[in-house]
Structure 1
Amino acid sequence: MPSVNPAASPLLKVPLLLAHSVCTYYGMTPSTPLPKPEEQKRYDASEFMARTMRVQIVLVSAGKWTCCGFALAEAAAILAAYLPSKIPGHVHSLLLPNGASLQLTPTSAVACALGITGGLMRIWCYRTLGQNFTWSTSIQPKHKLGTSGPYAIVRHPSYTAWTMMMLGNFILLLSKGSYAAESGLLGRPFGKAFVFTLIGYISFFTFTLTVRRTRLEDAILKEEFGKEWEEWAKKTPYRLFPYVY
């Protein structure tokens, strides 16, 4: 796929990569500590993801650092190539052994846009729910039903944002002109296995959130808030994507 602007696109890619990395970092970081056992045991006993949430957070954190690391390494490689007087040549060779060009393509631009938008949406959800936003299903003391901000658009906007953010990271990892592709990592058996294991695990985690967890949370909130939840569900009928699902 052709670059957006061959003369200037590599350097234009740097701020996109940095913003993408920052938004991915905050979007994949829990905004509050895990709830107390007594706040979650009522709902989590039969849910695999919730029962293993501490392990899942460690694995997600590893994925977060990997995704952010690739984006930052790509930005560093571009800067090393375009600021040769500031950065020793052996550093650039280390960052990008093949000496390939990390162009900004329409695909990578869309990937960064998805990552940035998804991350910002996650942060919006964190701020809207405050202490009530937890990674493990629970009902907090004095818990209030969140119906404003992104929760007035769909009932589970944080999972919508997560899906967008992960899709952006996957596209950025696999697209032509990406660091993983141009460094030769995807051409090596170990590198390919590593990247696709990462994608496989995060895809499983995402599927669990968007399909199983949304149904569980709807059932819990309906039980807890009754008519208030039913009125909100009528006004906000879609779980993840308006007019789709």
Structure 2
Amino acid sequence: MQWSSLHPIATARYLGLGLFAAGFLMMNWSEASLGKQFSIQVTVQENHQLVTDGPYRFLRHPRHLGIIMFNLGIALVYRSWMAMILVAALTLVLLWRIHDEESLMHQEFGADWDAYARKSWHLIPFVY
């Protein structure tokens, strides 16, 4: 099979599978890096430490990127426009959450957070 002979639908599905798998791995790596500090709520845990290793070395919100990739992958695999619209809506919700999380982290960690924020990306390396 030659790459040039792949049908666009098959290409979208393969891309979707790759995004699905990469998103799943990114979510799990991010959660593992946070350890006991992981929470689905925007909150600071007792004895909370600023995590700047693992995927957090480069991105401040790698789990959110993983969630977007995972869901975008599903939308591409099933070629669903409705799912693509839902992924866009989910992305907007996560961007709002990022704003809340960053405000909380700035309040909690102050200058340490500011220094970390200057040398890391929000969500997408070299873009945002």
TM bracket (short chain): 0.7 to 0.9
Following superposition, the deviation at residue 146 of structure 1 comes to 1.1
2:60 touches 2:122 (CA, 8 Å); kept in 1?
A: yes
Question: Number of matched residues?
Answer: 124
Question: Partner of 2:92 in structure 1?
Answer: 207
For residue 242 of structure 1, report the CA deviation from its aligned partner: 1.1
**How far has the Cα of 1:200 moved from its partner?**
4.2
Would you say the 8 A contact 1:115–1:166 is kept in 2? yes
Aligned to 1:235: 119
Deviations 1:109-142 (A, max 9, x none): 1110000001001000010001211111111111
| C-alpha spacing 1:114/1:141, structure 2 compared with 1 (3 Å) | same
Q: Distance in 1 between matches of 2:124 and 2:119?
A: 14
- Tell me if structure 2 keeps the 8 A contact 1:2–1:105: no
**Shift in Å at residue 225 of structure 1?**
0.5
CA RMSD of aligned residues (A): 2.2
Once residues 5 and 78 of structure 2 are traced to their aligned partners in structure 1, the CA distance between those partners, rounded to angstroms, is: 17
Shift of 1:106: 2.1
TM-score, normalised by the number of residues in structure 1: 0.47
Q: Is 1:137 matched with 2:42? A: yes
Contact kept in structure 1, 2:68 and 2:87, CA below 8 Å: no
- Gap runs ≥5 in structure 1: 5-103, 176-194
Matched ranges for 1:70-219 at <5 A: 105-174=10-79, 196=82, 200-209=85-94, 211-219=95-103
Q: Return the letter of the residue paired with 1:160.
A: L
1:105 Cα deviation from its structure 2 partner: 2.0
CA distance in 1, matches of 2:86, 2:110: 35
Identity, % of aligned positions: 29
CA–CA distance in structure 2, aligned partners of residues 200 and 232 of structure 1: 33
Runs of 4+ in 1 over 3 A off after TM superposition: 1-4, 198-203
Q: What TM-score do you get using the length of structure 2 for normalisation?
A: 0.86
Where does structure 2 lack aligned partners over 5 or more consecutive residues? Answer: none
Q: What is the rounded CA distance, in whole Å, between the counterparts of 2:75 and 2:84 in structure 1?
A: 7
After TM superposition, give the deviation of residue 204 of structure 1 in Å.
2.1
Give, in whole Å, the separation in 2 of the partners of 1:143 and 1:228: 13
Structure with higher Rg: it is 1
Q: Does residue 220 of the first structure (1) align with residue 126 of the second (2)?
A: no
Deviations along 1:135-185, one digit per CA (max 9) or x if unpaired, are 11111111111111100111111111111111111011117xxxxxxxxxx
**Does the CA contact (< 8 Å) of 1:163 and 1:206 recur in 2?**
yes
Give the Cα–Cα distance (whole angstroms) in 1 for the partners of residues 114 and 65 of structure 2.
21
